[in-house]
Structure 1
Amino acid sequence: MKVLIVSDTHGNHKNLDKILELAGDIDMFIHLGDVEGGEEYLDAVIECEKHIVRGNNDFFSDLPREEEFNIGKYRAFVTHGHSYYVSLDPEYIREEGKARCADIVMFGHTHKPYFEEKEEMVLLNPGSVSYPRQEGRKGSYVIMELDGEEKPKFKQFYLD
């Protein structure tokens, strides 16, 4: 199973289109918020299972604030992250993930990639597709791959 994880497109789909082309066939798409009205576009161009949550800039959106679902045998908790103060410290969202018995916690909001595996939980932020803030300022995304009973593999990618 191949899962594409993105965040913070902010209504700008140029880089997202590049990412979709580079990623090739995917089985699941996860967007961690701040689509800024791009829901219809995502529905039109992505044909697999989708999970899209509302970010702090998704005013008047009907998207859910957070979701819990399974990816294979792993429990995922996804949210934009602003309600868990992820810009300050990942501790609040880590604790929330533990409380929800999540194996994988995904968030956006900071526009900076983040990956941590601690106490049998993966905590990740793919960074921002459109407005990156990390050194080098390249749009970024994560591909998660599950192969049978193995642990999931996560790979961070950056656009040129």
Structure 2
Amino acid sequence: MRVLIVSDTHGKHYNLDRALEDAGKIDMFIHLGDVEGGEDYIEAVVECEKHIVAGNNDFFSQLPREDEFYIGNKKAFITHGHNYSVSMTKEQILEEGKVRGADIVMFGHTHQPYFEQKDGITLLNPGSLSYPRQIGRKGSYMLLDVKPDGKMNFEERYLDI
């Protein structure tokens, strides 16, 4: 199973299209918020299982603020992250993941890629495709490959400018 994980596209689809093309065939698509009206576009171009949550800039969106589902045999908890103070610390969202029994916690909001495995939980943020804030300022996303034996491989990817 191949999963494309993105965040903070802010209604701009050019880099999303590039990430979709670069990722190749995917089985699941995850958007961690600040889609800013891009839901219809994503619905039209992504032809697999989709999980999309609302971010702090999705003011009138009907998208859920959080979602829980399984990727293989691992429970995922996704949210934009602004309600968990992820710009300052990852402890609050880590604790929420523990309470929910999550194996993987995904969030956006900071526009910076982040990956950590702590207390048996994988925490990740794919960064932003549209407004990256990390050094080098390249749009970023993550790919998750789940092997037949259940082993998971996470890969940070960056778009060429």
Q: Indicate whether the TM-score tops 0.5.
A: yes
Q: Deviations over 1:52-111 (max 9, x none)?
A: 000000011000000000000000000000000000000000000000000000000000
Quote how far apart the aligned CAs of 1:114 are. Answer: 0.2
SS in 2 for 1:12: coil
Aligned to 1:153: 153
SS in 2 for 1:16: helix
Between the two proteins, what is the percent identity of the paired residues?
69
SS in 2 for 1:94: helix
Unaligned runs of 5+ in 1: none
Normalising by structure 1, we get a TM-score of 0.99
Moved over 2 A (4+): none
Aligned to 2:34: 34
1:104 corresponds to 2:141: no
Alignment: residue pair count: 160
Aligned to 2:128: 128
Q: Map 1:79-118; keep pairs closer than 5 Å.
A: 79-118=79-118
1:55 corresponds to 2:55: yes
Give the whole-Å Cα distance in 1 for the aligned partners of 2:135 and 2:123. 20
Unaligned runs of 5+ in 2: none
SS in 2 for 1:69: strand
